[in-house]
A and B are shown apart, each in its own frame.
Chain A
Amino acid sequence: MPDETLDCTGLSCPMPIVKLAKTVKPMEAGDSITVTADDPGFEPDIQAWVDAQGHELTSLEEEGGVFTAVIELK
């Protein structure tokens, strides 16, 4: 079960990534977070953020233009 959820729907670049970075700051390795966003660039962006930070993208789904990403922090 995800530990934390973050709703970034309605926000456009760069805010979903900025908000996500701020939200995970106090979290620890092993925690996970579920992020929802409808910014069209979110899919490649979340992958790039996860790669840069060394976290793991456990799942990424899209439904009706809304992306839901589950990330496990490393």
Chain B
Amino acid sequence: MADESGQKKATIIVFSGTMDKVMAALIVATTAAAMGMQVTMYYTFWGLSALKKGATADCERNWMQKMLGWMLPKKAADLPLSQLHMAGMGAGMMKKIMEQKNMQSLDELMETAIDLDIRMIACQTSMSAMGICKEELLDTVEIAGAATYVGEAQDGAFNLFIS
């Protein structure tokens, strides 16, 4: 449950690529880090969109991967809501309300998480399947496979899967 330093570990798999679910994951992650835990977030499939910084890199993609790239969000701020998205109207309203309530935006939460030394890992296999390259993701992101996640999760005081 804890490493040599006595620090407890928590891991979160982010499978969902929707704004509200990724935000919920980041709120739990930043809180766990603030409570002294060593936190690892593992982004896979649709969750990878949350790590995109809005840059289009010239990496090799076949036509299907190119199509995926056109359809998926280009950056974290463009993630849709999991419910009531209403072609962007719902997400826009939610952002406005959160701003009024002085809540952090998805980008700010991500920045806070990185600042708290939360390990951000992108799933290598999902990246190759979806035609996403390293240059399109935030600079602090590590690229690794499931074994890296399982290695951390073995010692996890809690392990979550956000789908």
Question: Given A20-B34, A49-B35, is A12 in contact with B101 using a C-beta cutoff of 8 Å?
Answer: yes
Q: How far is the CA of A10 from the CA of B104 in the complex (A)?
A: 11
Q: How far is the CA of A47 from the CA of B30 in the complex (A)?
A: 17
The residue on A at minimum CB distance from B112 is A18
The residue on B at minimum CB distance from A21 is B34
* Chain A contacts for B27, CB-based, 8 A: 13-14
Q: How far is the CA of A20 from the CA of B34 in the complex (A)?
A: 8
* Chain A contacts for B104, CB-based, 8 A: 12, 15
* Chain A contacts for B103, CB-based, 8 A: 12
Total interface residues on A, CB under 8 Å, equals: 15
A17:B102 contact, CB within 8 angstroms:
no
B102:A10 contact, CB within 8 angstroms:
yes
A1 beta carbon closer than 8 Å to chain B: no
A18:B102 contact, CB within 8 angstroms:
no
The tally of CB-CB contacts under 8 A between chains A and B is 38
A53 beta carbon closer than 8 Å to chain B: yes
B31 beta carbon closer than 8 Å to chain A: yes
B101:A18 contact, CB within 8 angstroms:
no
* Chain B contacts for A49, CB-based, 8 A: 34-35
Residues facing A in B101-118 (CB within 8 A) are 101-104, 112, 116
B101:A17 contact, CB within 8 angstroms:
no
B36 beta carbon closer than 8 Å to chain A: yes
* Chain B contacts for A48, CB-based, 8 A: 35
Q: List 15 A-B contacts (CB under 8 A).
A: A12-B102, A12-B104, A14-B34, A15-B104, A15-B112, A18-B30, A18-B31, A18-B33, A18-B34, A18-B112, A18-B116, A21-B34, A21-B36, A22-B116, A52-B36
Listed in ascending order, the chain B residues whose CB lies under 8 Å from chain A are 27, 30-31, 33-36, 101-104, 112, 116
In the complex, given contacts A13-B31, A14-B31, A52-B35, what are 20 additional A-B residue pairs having Cβ atoms less than 8 angstroms apart?
A10-B102, A12-B104, A13-B27, A14-B30, A15-B104, A15-B112, A17-B31, A17-B34, A17-B35, A18-B31, A18-B33, A18-B116, A20-B34, A21-B33, A21-B35, A21-B36, A21-B116, A48-B35, A49-B35, A53-B35
